[in-house]
Structure 1
């Protein structure tokens, strides 16, 4: 048993030290109300067709909404959007009442002023341990001239300019 606990601790330490981008994923429920959450488990999958993936914990209150939706939007946050990141990571708050957003032509809630938005049709869902992996086919992309957010060691910020070519 101690070996499992030790492996879990090591796993969390390794993954917490792996730098990632930060996203907010949104969709709408059956009544058209927006839902969204902060996610850093996001990756590209394929160029042909354009596919991305993200995963959602089975304990998240909106998991059934995301599982039943046929589309979602992934917002790649800008480096100066720590407050927005924290807002969508918080519980018990009307997230969309506290940010600027609108419905897209695909009827998805789109948050304003982020680095990029990838609107997707749900392509496939895969059950994996205590998460569901949602794979989306990208149907629309917008990008702003901003620096993306980086998450590393429980800190959020802009990627340092020394890493740019």
Structure 2
């Protein structure tokens, strides 16, 4: 039986996810970021997280070179940032959207949480590359609600 790609994507969409903007510095020291919903924990000791990057993404070359990155879990009121940094060619961070973290990484202002990571490993994963990062620093604001995505649209926790 051959799997229908559209149906597979729709069924995957039934799993509610948070929305993150993964940020890094380009080799020219320009801050950039892209929206993803493929973030997960891997290990507590050492502290490892993962996300996946589509191999034909316009950000793939920059993340292939980056040795560190930050995972920024967006807050419920940051839907505009999610939409902006999900657009092809719209990955240069606007100056008022970030601060610089302890490890020199762009950290999205107002995010629920941020994980500053060094690259632990990269693995092939079909049409994606799986990036595993060792978490070096975390920041979190427990007063904020996360931005949630399910069945093709943004949702709110209640």
Give the Cα–Cα distance (whole angstroms) in 2 for the partners of residues 62 and 13 of structure 1.
Answer: 24
Query: Which residue of structure 2 aligns with residue 65 of structure 1?
Result: 62
Given the alignment of the two structures, is residue 159 of structure 1 paired with residue 151 of structure 2, yes or no?
A: no
Give TM-score scaled by structure 1 length.
0.89
C-alpha change, 1:94 and 1:123, in structure 2 (3 Å) is: closer
Q: Which residue of 2 aligns with 1:163?
A: none
Q: Name the CA distance, whole Å, in 2 between partners of 1:94 and 1:128.
A: 23
Pick one of 120, 127, 130 that aligns with 1:130: 127
Unaligned runs of 5+ in 2: none
Pairwise CA RMSD of aligned residues? 1.5
Any conservation in 2 of the 1:80–1:158 contact (CA below 8 Å)?
A: no
Q: Please, what TM-score do these two structures have when normalized by structure 2? A: 0.93
The 1:69–1:93 alpha-carbon spacing in structure 2 relative to 1, beyond 3 Å, is: closer
**Structure 1 residue 108: deviation in Å?**
0.6
Q: Distance in 2 between matches of 1:114 and 1:26?
A: 12
Alpha-carbon distance, 1:153 to partner: 1.1
Aligned to 1:149: 147
Cα distance in 2 between the residues matched to 1:94 and 1:61: 9
What is residue 15 of structure 1 aligned with on the other side?
12
**Structure 2 Cα separation of the partners of residues 149 and 124 of structure 1:** 27
Residue 155 of structure 1: how far off its partner (Å): 1.2
* Corresponding position: 1:84 with 2:81: yes
Question: Structure 1: 5+ residue runs without aligned partners?
Answer: 161-165
Equivalent-residue separation in structure 2 for 1:106 and 1:55 (angstroms): 22
Cα pair distance change 1:99/1:88, threshold 3 Å:
farther
1:116 paired to 2:92: no
For 1:73 and 1:94, locate their aligned partners in 2 and report how far apart those are by CA, in whole Å: 14
Partner of residue 30 from structure 1, selected from 23, 27, 31: 27
Which of the two has greater helix per residue? 1
